[in-house]
């Protein structure tokens, strides 16, 4: 039990996928201008990453390892994640239209989100068990959401600030992201 | 050697095939019916997924279009062609494909005083959160430029006066600026929406604009004149009033009575400024192009080519409907042509103005009388018009009901003016015989028009007989003064009793009773009371009675379809004052026919109001009154009582032709002010309410 708590804390804070591993930066900057979109994106990532983590773990351990094809990991995972997202989109549209409408455009956008792929690869590299992989996937996604929502709040306040014109918009966002990332270094010694 | 390659290829193919199979099965199992038009609409959108339209991507926008939540013109990138194509898919009229355009409603001005010193961030959002901004003006532009930052197309920039200016060539109408503005000042509207906007209680309006029956944005056009943008001023006026040459000459300008400058100084000469820019356009020899919305295919018949009919036709045409005007007279203009004499409004000027309106593509048929040559029934059922506007005016003179008013040499006011005007412009060969000693009974503008016409026709002695005093005369003060200067005699407190004829049945004397003023009556004017035994005789050879006029509704006798049209006891058409719709849903009425004899500008405002209702009716929407309508009301706090700190500057006097010359000719008596004077006069405007009125640094 204690192991899992450590795993969760490590994935959310210490090894935050955005601010410590620097994965998924495109949606981080693209959808953090408004709190509303940031929340939508965070929810979509949590949803997809948990599913992708589970499926890719199974593909790897039950297909690629027995066939000694582990070097095909990257291409196989991309294929599977892309199909998964499409499948989930269709499934939600039919079965849970409310959730589908809520996630909206963010669901297909995740097809190209490297944080999802990155988290799946890390699960394999660390040789997690299935349950560990599931928990880690969820925690990475939660960490992604946390960072994204925090950052959206910051950017909404930056809009109200006097920013020198060469630094406006994305430039100041990158600088801010750096500082936020530094502050996450404070978690470094925890685990 | 080949085995590992074979296995890896097979494994990948296996994964791919499984994924494909699962997806294709899923697409069948989880199939959700989607309107096929969504895909078609999406095909015509840009595919850029830019979000400029306010929807999350092109497919979301396509869904919104198909659900009727977004107009066919939703895509701001693909432009007009895409809008027309999408309208084609949707089978809607392309009228709604009219481009949106951002417009800053705040005309800026001299910045108002600060209530407090603000040292926060440079953002309207932040500033408005602090007591609604630091200026004493609570409704104007905050000037921090949130709209400029919000615009992705560089179409908004900070103007020299500290408020944002929209570059119409770059604006795509995405609405980002409107969303960014915390004060709701910068607004994105189609031209139709702007043309159909009426004063509302929460609009920021100067007292003059609240008073004007046509609701012209007076401070804006005065400001444009001040900046030398005369064409812009013409456009501003034309958004509310298509008859600017006419109004610039004959309007009694109720707006000037409410001018705040008039509290301490003389009111700004608003109407002369209007006339100045109107004449500027006419004399430039170039008509400014007037844009119209795309055709809607709806047809409206306008009965009566007077100010109400012209205004209604003009606005409906600009909204994209097809219009035909019917009139009993051979030429357009109604009472402005046949009632207002040449010296006040030259026919040439009026012709130029009505030609401009017809040039929009409006048809006109003259010399046809309602109830004789055609009926509302025939228009609706035979000609197939979708709606009918009645602006038939008030052409029937009230009778004096005195003995002898049918003698030879006796006329009624409108009849006399119309017959004379028809002869003068060659419509009719019959001249009106003019006497030597002429008397006009009445105190309104019609009476004054009659006497001033008679003076010019060479009558030796022209007098007005009115039963009250000069103070109670309903005519415009400038008109009364002009008549006095031209040598008209006024007999006040005199009530005509009868006209006495000679052997040939020609009028020779008028008997009247002298009056004195008694108690005030219902209208607040002191009621004249006859003095017993004061009968007096006056030698005359021509008598005109001009004691008021009302609509002629005799056409109703011939009507089958609208025989139930409700008529008030003043024989005006009974229409809802807000929507101007009558009890017959497709019939709308405005102007003198609905209000009783009133001002030209009142009829123009009514015509536009009716155009709004007709537009709603034609689009199958509910014809509802304007929410929070400010019709004939004022916003109390906008009528501030003191304007201290003003440096007195004399109002520009109206240039006039010298009396000795003008009484011999029908040439225009009032002249236009010079460009220098227009600039000076426009500087007298205080820019009330809309902006920051700042008493310390005002333009005075």
Cα–Cα–Cα angle for B350, B356, B359, rounded to 5 degrees: 140
Which chain A residue's Cα is nearest to B21? A83
Q: Does A109 touch chain B if contact means CB atoms closer than 8 Å?
A: no
Co-location of B492 and B426 in the same domain: yes
Co-location of B413 and B485 in the same domain: yes
CA distances from residue B482 to B452, B518, B652 in whole angstroms, order as listed: 8, 29, 17
Co-location of B278 and B338 in the same domain: no
CB nearest A86 (choices: B12, B23, B32): B23
Closest Cα to residue B259, out of B222, B299, B309?
B222
CATH number of the domain enclosing B35: 1.10.15
Q: What are the backbone angles phi and psi of residue B151, rounded to the nearest 5°?
A: -75, 125
CB nearest B30 (choices: A76, A83, A93): A93
For B381, the domain range is 299-395+582-618
Give the Cα separation of B324 and B658 in Å (integer): 42
Closest Cα to residue B389, out of B193, B579, B199?
B579
Q: Which of B13, B24, B30, B63 is best to mutate for the A interface (most A CBs within 10 A)?
A: B30
**Does B696 have pLDDT greater than 60?**
no
Q: A105 vs B57: CB contact, 8 Å cut-off?
A: yes
Co-location of B285 and B359 in the same domain: no
Structurally, chain B folds into a number of domains equal to: 5
Q: A67 vs B16: CB contact, 8 Å cut-off?
A: no
Co-location of B69 and B117 in the same domain: no
Q: B12 vs A72: CB contact, 8 Å cut-off?
A: yes
- Residue scoring higher pLDDT (B104 or B478): B478
Q: A104 vs B16: CB contact, 8 Å cut-off?
A: no
Co-location of B136 and B260 in the same domain: no
- Would you say residue A23 lies in a domain? no
Co-location of B610 and B644 in the same domain: no
- Would you say residue B53 lies in a domain? yes
CB contacts of B121 in chain A (<8 Å) are 160-162
Interface of A with B in 38-97 (CB under 8 A): 59, 63-64, 67-69, 72, 75-76, 79-80, 83, 86-87, 90-91, 93-95
Q: B26 vs A90: CB contact, 8 Å cut-off?
A: yes
CB contacts of B7 in chain A (<8 Å) are 67, 69
- Would you say residue B112 lies in a domain? yes
**Does B59 have pLDDT greater than 90?**
no
pLDDT in tens, B561-598: 777 888 888 889 999 999 999 998 999 999 999 998 88
Closest Cα to residue B222, out of B243, B211, B210, B206?
B206
Q: B7 vs A69: CB contact, 8 Å cut-off?
A: yes
Which chain A residue's Cα is nearest to B19? A83
Q: B60 vs A93: CB contact, 8 Å cut-off?
A: no
Q: B12 vs A67: CB contact, 8 Å cut-off?
A: no
Tokens encoding B14:
């296996």
Q: Bridge partners of B297?
A: none
Asked if ipTM goes beyond 0.85, one says no
pLDDT in tens, B631-676: 888 887 778 777 777 888 888 888 888 888 888 888 888 888 999 9
For A102, the domain range is 40-153
CB contacts of A83 in chain B (<8 Å) are 19-20, 22-23
**Per-residue confidence at B689, pLDDT binned at 50, 70, 90?**
low
- Would you say residue B628 lies in a domain? no
Q: Which of B10, B19, B182 is best to mutate for the A interface (most A CBs within 10 A)?
A: B19
CB contacts of A99 in chain B (<8 Å) are none
Co-location of B404 and B544 in the same domain: yes
- Would you say residue B601 lies in a domain? yes
CB contacts of A68 in chain B (<8 Å) are 4
CATH number of the domain enclosing B514: 3.50.50.60
Tokens encoding A77:
């995972």
Report field, pTM of the whole predicted structure over 0.90:
no
pLDDT in tens, B361-415: 999 999 999 988 998 888 988 889 999 999 999 998 888 888 888 888 888 999 8
Q: What is the pLDDT of residue B433?
A: 83
Q: A94 vs B31: CB contact, 8 Å cut-off?
A: yes
pLDDT in tens, A80-118: 888 888 888 888 888 877 777 766 667 777 776 788 999
Co-location of B429 and B525 in the same domain: yes
Co-location of B427 and B528 in the same domain: yes
Q: A95 vs B30: CB contact, 8 Å cut-off?
A: yes
Co-location of B401 and B545 in the same domain: yes
Domain boundary among B526, B550, B574: B550
Co-location of B325 and B372 in the same domain: yes
What SS3 class is residue B526? strand
CB contacts of B49 in chain A (<8 Å) are 105
Q: What is the pLDDT of residue A165?
A: 77
Give the Cα separation of A125 and A104 in Å (integer): 32
Q: At what angle do helices B445-456 and B477-485 cross, to 10 degrees?
A: 20
Q: A76 vs B23: CB contact, 8 Å cut-off?
A: no
Which chain A residue's Cα is nearest to B3? A67
- Would you say residue A163 lies in a domain? no
- Would you say residue A34 lies in a domain? no
pLDDT in tens, B322-368: 999 999 999 999 999 999 999 899 999 999 999 999 999 999 999 99
Q: What is the pLDDT of residue B354?
A: 94
Structurally, chain A folds into a number of domains equal to: 1
Q: Could you tell me if B583 and B397 are in contact, meaning their C-beta atoms sit under 8 angstroms apart?
A: no
CATH number of the domain enclosing B217: 1.10.1060
> DSSP state, B50?
-
Q: Does A1 touch chain B if contact means CB atoms closer than 8 Å?
A: no
Which chain B residue's Cα is nearest to A84? B19
Q: What is the pLDDT of residue B463?
A: 93
Tokens encoding A177:
């992201």
- Would you say residue A61 lies in a domain? yes
């Amino acid at each position: 039990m204690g192991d899992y708590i450590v795993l969760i804390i490590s994935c959310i804070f210490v090894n935050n996928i955005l601010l410590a591993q620097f994965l998924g930066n495109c949606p981080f900057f693209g959808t953090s201008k408004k709190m509303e979109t940031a929340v939508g994106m965070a929810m979509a990532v949590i949803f997809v990453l948990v599913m992708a983590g589970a499926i890719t773990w199974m593909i790897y351990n039950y297909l690629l390892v027995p066939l000694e094809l582990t070097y095909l990991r990257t291409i196989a995972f991309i294929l599977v994640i892309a199909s998964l997202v499409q499948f989930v989109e269709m499934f939600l549209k039919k079965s849970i239209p409310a959730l589908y409408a809520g996630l909206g455009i963010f669901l297909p956008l995740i097809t190209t989100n490297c944080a999802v792929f990155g988290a799946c690869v890390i699960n394999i590299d660390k040789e997690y068990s299935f349950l560990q992989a599931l928990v880690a996937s969820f925690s990475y996604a939660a960490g992604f959401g946390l960072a994204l929502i925090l950052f959206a709040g910051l950017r909404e306040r930056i809009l109200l600030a006097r920013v020198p014109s060469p630094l406006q918009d994305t430039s100041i966002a990158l600088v801010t992201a750096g500082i936020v990332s530094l502050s996450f270094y404070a978690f470094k010694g925890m685990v | 050697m080949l085995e590992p390659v074979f296995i890896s290829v097979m494994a990948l193919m296996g994964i791919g095939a499984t994924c494909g199979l699962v997806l294709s099965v899923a697409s069948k199992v989880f199939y959700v019916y989607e309107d096929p038009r969504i895909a078609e609409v999406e095909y015509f959108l840009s595919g850029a997924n830019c979000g400029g339209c306010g929807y999350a991507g092109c497919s979301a926008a396509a869904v919104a279009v198909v659900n009727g939540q977004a107009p066919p013109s939703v895509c701001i990138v693909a432009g007009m062609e895409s809008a027309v194509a999408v309208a084609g898919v949707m089978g809607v009229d392309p009228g709604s494909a009219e481009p949106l355009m951002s417009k800053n409603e705040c005309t800026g001005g001299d910045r108002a005083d600060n209530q407090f010193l603000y040292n926060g961030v440079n953002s309207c959002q932040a500033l408005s959160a602090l007591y609604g901004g630091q200026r004493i003006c609570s409704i104007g532009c905050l000037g921090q430029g949130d709209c400029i930052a919000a615009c992705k197309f560089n179409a908004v920039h900070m103007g020299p006066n500290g408020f944002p200016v929209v570059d119409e060539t770059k604006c795509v109408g995405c609405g980002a600026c409107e969303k960014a503005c915390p004060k709701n000042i910068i607004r994105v509207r189609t031209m139709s929406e702007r043309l159909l906007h009426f004063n509302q209680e929460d609009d920021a309006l100067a007292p003059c604009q609240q008073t004007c029956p046509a609701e012209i944005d007076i401070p804006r056009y005065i400001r444009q004149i001040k900046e030398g943008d005369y064409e812009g001023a013409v456009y501003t006026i034309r958004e509310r009033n298509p008859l600017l040459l006419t109004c610039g000459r004959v309007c009694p300008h109720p707006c000037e009575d409410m001018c705040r400058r008039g509290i301490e100084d003389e009111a700004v000469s608003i109407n002369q400024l209007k006339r100045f820019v109107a004449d500027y356009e006419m004399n430039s020899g170039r008509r400014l192009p007037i844009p119209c919305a795309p055709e809607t295919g709806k047809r409206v018949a306008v009965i009566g080519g007077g100010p109400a009919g012209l205004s209604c036709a003009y606005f409906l045409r600009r909204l994209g409907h097809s219009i035909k005007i019917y009139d009993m007279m051979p030429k357009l203009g109604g009472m402005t042509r046949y009632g207002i004499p040449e010296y006040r409004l030259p026919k040439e000027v009026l012709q130029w103005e009505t030609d401009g309106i017809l040039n929009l593509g409006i048809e006109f048929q003259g010399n046809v009388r309602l109830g004789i040559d055609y009926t509302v029934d025939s228009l609706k059922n035979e000609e197939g018009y979708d709606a009918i506007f009645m602006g038939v005016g008030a052409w029937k003179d009230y009778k004096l009901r005195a003995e002898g008013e049918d003698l030879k040499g006796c006329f009624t006011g409108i009849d006399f003016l119309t017959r004379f005007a028809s002869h003068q412009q060659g419509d009719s060969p019959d001249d009106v015989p003019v006497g030597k000693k002429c008397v006009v009974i009445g105190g309104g503008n019609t009476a004054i028009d009659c006497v001033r016409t008679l003076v010019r026709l060479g009558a030796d002695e022209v007098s007005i007989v009115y039963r009250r005093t000069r103070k109670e005369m309903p005519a415009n003060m400038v008109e009364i003064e002009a008549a006095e200067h031209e040598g008209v005699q006024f007999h006040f407190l005199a009530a005509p009793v009868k006209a006495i004829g000679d052997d040939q049945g020609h009028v020779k004397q008028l008997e009247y009773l002298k009056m004195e003023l008694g108690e005030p009556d219902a209208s607040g004017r002191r009621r004249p009371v006859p003095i017993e035994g004061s009968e007096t005789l006056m030698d005359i050879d021509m008598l005109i009675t001009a004691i008021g006029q009302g609509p002629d509704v005799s056409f109703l006798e011939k009507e089958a379809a609208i025989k139930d049209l409700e008529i008030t006891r003043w024989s005006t058409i009974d229409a809802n004052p807000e929507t101007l719709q009558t009890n017959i849903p497709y019939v709308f009425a405005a102007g003198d026919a609905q209000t009783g004899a009133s001002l030209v500008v009142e009829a123009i405002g009514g015509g536009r109001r009716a155009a709004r209702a007709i537009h709603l009716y034609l689009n199958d929407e509910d014809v509802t009154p304007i929410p929070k309508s400010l019709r004939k009301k004022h916003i109390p706090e906008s009528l501030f009582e003191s304007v201290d700190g003003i440096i007195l500057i004399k109002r520009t006097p109206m240039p006039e032709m010298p009396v000795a010359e003008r009484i011999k000719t029908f040439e225009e008596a009032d002249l236009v002010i010079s460009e220098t004077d227009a600039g000076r006069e426009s500087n007298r405007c205080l820019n009330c309410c809309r902006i920051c009125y700042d008493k310390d640094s005002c333009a005075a």
